[in-house]
Amino acid sequence: MRWFICLMILFSQRTMAQQLFLAAGQSNAVGMADSAMSVPCAPGTAFEYRWASDSLVYLADPVGERELHFESAHTGSAWPAFAKAYHSLTGKQVVIVPAARGGSSCHYKAELNNYGTWDRKGRLPLIDSAIIKARAAVKKTGQPIAGILWSQGERDANAINAKQLTAGEYEEQLMAVVKQFREALGRQVPFYIIQTGHYLNHPAAGFDAVREAQENAARKMKHVFIVYTGTTGFAGKGWMKDEIHYNQTALNHIGATVAEQVAQKEKR
């Protein structure tokens, strides 16, 4: 039976239209929830690209590998739910390219210890590593990156609260990140933003500033979209794992909702 499933997966890799999505950001993009409650994907419909082995593997939590300074889910993420919903809506096979690191900042002024930054400055810049991994996935599959799924901003929000960073600096750097990805992966590659939520028992001002900056970037730049807005309501729904991280119910909802939004925008 196992050989038959492997054969079907291999056949689907060769015959089904593929869509590659780079999943990037910080800890909520890594996934800090529960793989036991993660959504299973049907064989042959969803894969994860792994850079170290240059291979496609069945997409299942914990998604991600400790490679190129990126991390694996601890232990559940949003990406199986995204892939399952996207495949159901489009009939296309999904390849997730995980490129997220917990605590990473967007702006180098917000970088904390060795957690990394998506700025080109800083102690541990991450964007070149993400580009290396994305390009390797493109080469492996022969398909372009169909979109970047972005969940990031908590570190910068804390830095705004601490007066280490302004909302304007964050917004400018977020737009620079989009431009840098596009210079490397395609000038029109869509950038899909999951809006940052609130850090419970911390000032909301910095987090609201980040959310506003994300909305501004989507308004100012073509093919930059806010695809999930409801993260600030998670505490009231009991969808928080702790003060800052989303639980698996939340991540499953994010994944499915983002898939719906992406599929809708691809039709336009």
> Is residue 7 in a domain?
no
> Is residue 5 in a domain?
no
Q: What is the pLDDT of residue 258?
A: 98
Q: Is 102 exposed, middle or buried (0-12, 13-18, 19+ CB in 10 A)?
A: buried
Q: What is the pLDDT of residue 67?
A: 97
Overall domain count for the chain? 1
Q: What is the pLDDT of residue 15?
A: 52
Name the residue range of residue 215's domain.
Answer: 16-267
**pLDDT cut 70: percent of the chain above it:** 94
> Is residue 8 in a domain?
no
DSSP string, 20-46: EEEEEESHHHH--S-GGGSPPPPTTSE
> Is residue 85 in a domain?
yes
> Is residue 242 in a domain?
yes
> Is residue 228 in a domain?
yes
Tell me the pLDDT tens digit for each residue of 110-158. 999 999 999 999 999 999 999 999 999 999 999 999 999 999 999 999 9
Residue for token pair 């390849």: 95
**What does the block give as tokens for 266?**
């691809």
Give the HSE-up count for residue 58: Cα atoms under 13 Å, Cβ half-sphere.
Answer: 13
> Is residue 6 in a domain?
no
Tell me the pLDDT tens digit for each residue of 200-220. 999 999 999 999 999 999 999
Q: What is the pLDDT of residue 5?
A: 40
Residue 70: pLDDT band (50, 70, 90) is very high
> Is residue 9 in a domain?
no
The strand pair at 145-151 and 191-194 is best described as parallel
33 contacts: CB under 8 Å, gap ≥ 6: 73, 75, 76, 77, 241, 245, 246, 247, 248, 250, 251
CATH number of the domain at 236, please: 3.40.50.1110
